[in-house]
Amino acid sequence: MILQGLKGVVAAETAIAHVDGEQGQLIYRGYEIGEVTANYSFEEAAYLLWYGKLTNEEETQKLKAALRSGREIPSYLADMIGHLPTEMNMMSVLRTVISAEGRLAYGWKPSIAEAIRLTAMVPVIIAFRKRQQEGKSIVHPKEDLDHVANYLYMLTGEIPSATHVNALETYMILTMEHGMNASTFSARVTVSTESDLVSAITAAIGTMKGPLHGGAPAEVISLLDEIKEAGDVETVLRDKLNRGEKLMGFGHRIYKTIDPRSVALKSKLLAFAGEDEWLDLSIKVEEVGIELLAELKPGRSLFTNVEFYAAAIMKAIDMDKELFTSTFSASRMVGWTAHVLEQAMNNVIFRPQSKYTGPFK
């Protein structure tokens, strides 16, 4: 029996994360995702995925220092960013610049130091490119800002609000890792040949670039924009359902119940109720949407997914749509590199079979 796309095939064992779509669970190294987002920073969650344990204060500060050190990209990469064609999209830029990284002697086997370096670089590349596209001066990293806050600072040139940092940080923790998805599998296949970490991450970025994987919450943003303009949540949603349209941001191909990432993100955003109109609107849209789906599509169990609240966050921080997938990639760098490190620990090259369906002459 051939399973197209390897659906349902177990290709590797992993101790990094557990995804259970039927039960609505996402677990990082034994910890429920809601517990991670409620209690830990981006750096602390990254430490958990890379090292397999929770960090202490001393280890956290060392990791923060290492990430800050990794933000300084060499001049040849900065020049490359500026000389790439203007029509080149952000994911293509990211893929190209990462592939040219060569300051460290990347080789076999990959190391956590290399993982930290590449994770630190990605937001800098994105911010450099975005500022250049806008004809604005480059904003260099700010030493006293942590990973997520520095990313927002480099994009805007302004110190971001705590509300926006917390919202984006929660999203980036939630999207750090999600099992054996297409880009993670791509990274593991690449490194299974005993190739280097840069090559594995370049492959993962190329995979994430495809619209069937990386995607973006752009359609959810269109929905929020429409509702904001109409000024009536229920009328817009009811009309869409009556016309047989999908409610963007509701339902997920993996989770058959509530997306645990959506729950974790919502619980964090509720703490900021009243502080941002887009976050408040998204909470209202979810409430009304679930009520209408239960009324008009009973038995379907359609709930909001992580991209629903991601859209609200992107609107709140005024992030350009072009940055959605690259920001997703900036967070997923942690998961990709964790999987590459795990693959290298007990490596076997991936070599599946194919069934020939051509002619015999």
Residue pLDDT, tens place only, 338-347: 999 999 999 9
- Reply yes or no on whether 287 is catalytic: no
Please report the pLDDT score of residue 251 as a whole number: 65
| From 164, 307, 339, 342, active-site residue | 307
In a domain, 355, yes or no: no
The two counts, helices (H) then strands (E), for the chain are 16, 3
Q: What is the pLDDT of residue 264?
A: 78
Residue 221 has pLDDT above 90, yes or no: no
Four-point Cα dihedral 111, 37, 216, 277, nearest 10 = -140
In this predicted structure, the answer to whether residue 255 has a pLDDT above a threshold of 50 is no
CATH number, domain containing residue 272: 1.10.230.10
What is the C-alpha to C-alpha distance for residues 151 and 159, in angstroms, rounded to an integer?
Answer: 10
208 and 223 both lie in a single domain? no
The two tokens of residue 184 are 């993670």
Question: Do 227 and 246 share a domain, yes or no?
Answer: yes
Coil vs helix vs strand at 304: strand
Q: What letter represents residue 61's amino acid?
A: Q
Amino acid at 270: L
Can the peptide bond before residue 109 be classed as cis, meaning omega within 30 degrees of 0?
yes
In a domain, 361, yes or no: no
Indicate whether 330 and 291 sit together in one domain. no
CB 237 within 8 A of CB 292: yes
Boundaries of domain holding 53: 13-215+323-345
What tokens appear for 29 in the block?
A: 């190294």
Nearest to 168 by CA among 310, 361, 18: 310
pTM assigned to the model: 0.87
What mean pLDDT comes out for the span 173-197? 93
Catalytic residue among 252, 286, 339, 342: 252
Give yes or no: residues 328 and 227 share one domain. no
User: Is 307 a residue of the active site?
Assistant: yes
Domains in the chain, number: 2
Per-residue confidence (pLDDT) for residue 317, from 0 to 100: 80
- Range of weakest confidence among 96-100, 240-244, 263-267: 263-267
Choice between 310 and 197, residue whose per-residue pLDDT is larger: 197
Q: For 79-98, how does the pLDDT look when each residue is reduced to its tens digit (9 = 90+)? A: 999 999 988 999 999 999 99
Residues 163 and 210 in one domain: yes
Would you say residue 357 lies in a domain?
A: no
Band of residue 295 on the pLDDT scale cut at 50, 70, 90: confident
CATH number at residue 129: 1.10.580.10
143 neighbors 127 (Cβ within 8 angstroms): no
Flag whether 8 is in a domain. no
